[in-house]
Amino acid sequence: MVAASLLFLLTFGFICGEAEAQRKLVYVTVLFRHGDRSPVRAYPTDPYQESAWPQGFGQLSQVGMMQHFNLGQFLRKRYKGFLNDSYERHEILVRSTDYDRTLMSAEANLAGLYPPAGQQVFNPNLIWQPIPVHTVPLNEERLLIYPIADCPRYQQLMNETEHTEEYLNVTAEYRDIIDLVRNKTGLNKTDVQSVWSVYDTLFCESRHNKTAPNWVTPDVMGKLKFLKDFGFRASFGLHKQQEKSRLLGGVLLGEIVKNLTKMADPDPKQKLRLMMLSAHDTTVAALQASLNVFNGRQPPYASCHIFELYRDENGSASVSMFYRNDSKVDPYPIQLPGCTLQCPLEDFVNITKPSISDDRDKECQLPSEGRDTEVIISLALSGFLLLLLIALLLGVICWQKVPSNNRGYQHVINQELGVES
């Protein structure tokens, strides 16, 4: 009996080993939030205005630089043997939003991922090499920044969200803390959404050892943290999550799915192995909401969502996802609802399709009911003006046909002098 059990375990292990050996990593996409930073803004009564921060508001700190250097080293270790030991420009593409903190996070990450060696060393005293990070102007960014201001339908959805029973209940339950924030900060208006910035400012100040005002107790911070996380849920879910996803994170998800599909086809000329995206907490949350895997909490500094594309020897492809939101433990496997951890690419594409818009700009317009009314009014007005113009033209024609002796007295112009006679 013991021998039979041992034989079964050995056989099972051999089969599993063979299955694993047949599954080959071919492409990776990583999306991460920038590292630790200074506050984006200060509230009116804040004792720490922009001059209190060495580089000003919204800038990556040395702690944030180290967080991303460490993340780069983690990626180097995780993909050893998959990525070249030295930087190869064809195997990695890096894109960032056009903010100092995201650009610098990407650069710090690359310093940990690709320390120079051999001929790539240009200064023996500097263990670093320049690696390109691409971006687009903020007014052109549609892929990595959410929410997007030029989407009326999303604004309408948020207005609906703020009138849902859950949202109104939370507002009522936390009315005391919302009023406290308004009274203590000097802000003219505070609500569930606006306390984000106040919590963020206080959180940044606490991480950088700045003394909090007396009214900022642990209980206050706990309540503000809850409202901050609830604000994330409201922005990307809570009400009509899938439609919100089609307007926000689904845009990025669509690009990721398109690239996964493209990279699944064997192409000896294709050398790209890693797509690196440097962005924000809202970017990570919006993407995870579009995948229906968002945990409802603000993604921490340097958190990283990983997509790994594998191809089997039989040509089939599958996708595995991981989320690294704690540097002390291995990334957590993320299972796409309705699929397995090793999700077949075809299933991955089909499951995510409802969250991906074919025409985001069109879907961002307000529902057609309102536009139909506007169109009807516009057509009616145009028709009236056209009829009025036709009537005027007919009147002019009829007037011109009346005999001249019936037109009454007329002025005669002296062409030479230019005066009437």
3-class secondary structure, 230 = helix
Asked whether the beta carbons of 205 and 216 are under 8 A apart, the reply is no
Task: Determine the Cα–Cα distance for residues 47 and 215; give it in Å rounded to an integer.
Answer: 13
Task: Determine the Cα–Cα distance for residues 261 and 254; give it in Å rounded to an integer.
Answer: 11
Task: Determine the Cα–Cα distance for residues 104 and 58; give it in Å rounded to an integer.
Answer: 12
The predicted pLDDT at position 380 comes to: 55
Nearest 10 degrees: CA dihedral of 386, 387, 391, 397?
50
Task: Determine the Cα–Cα distance for residues 368 and 374; give it in Å rounded to an integer.
Answer: 10
Confidence of residue 17 (pLDDT cuts 50, 70, 90): very low
Asked whether the beta carbons of 82 and 252 are under 8 A apart, the reply is no
pLDDT, mean over the chain: 85
Q: How would you classify the pairing of strands 304-311 and 317-324? A: antiparallel
The predicted pLDDT at position 381 comes to: 64
Q: Which of 241, 338, 327 has its CA nearest to residue 289?
A: 241
Alpha helices in 237-367 (DSSP H): 241-247, 249-264, 281-290, 345-352, 360-363
34 among known catalytic residues: yes
Structure tokens at 396: 């002019």
Task: Determine the Cα–Cα distance for residues 163 and 166; give it in Å rounded to an integer.
Answer: 8
The predicted pLDDT at position 398 comes to: 53
85 among known catalytic residues: no
pLDDT tens digit sequence for 325-359: 988 899 999 999 999 999 999 999 999 999 999 88
Find the mean pLDDT for residues 104-118: 95
Give CA 79 to chain center in angstroms. 26
Catalytic one among 98, 100, 229, 281?
A: 281
Structure tokens at 319: 């996708």
Name the phi and psi angles at 244, rounded to 5.
Answer: -60, -40
Confidence of residue 420 (pLDDT cuts 50, 70, 90): very low
Confidence of residue 405 (pLDDT cuts 50, 70, 90): very low
Question: Residue 285: pLDDT above 60?
Answer: yes
Domain covering 22-362 in this structure, CATH number: 3.40.50.1240
Asked whether the beta carbons of 333 and 320 are under 8 A apart, the reply is yes
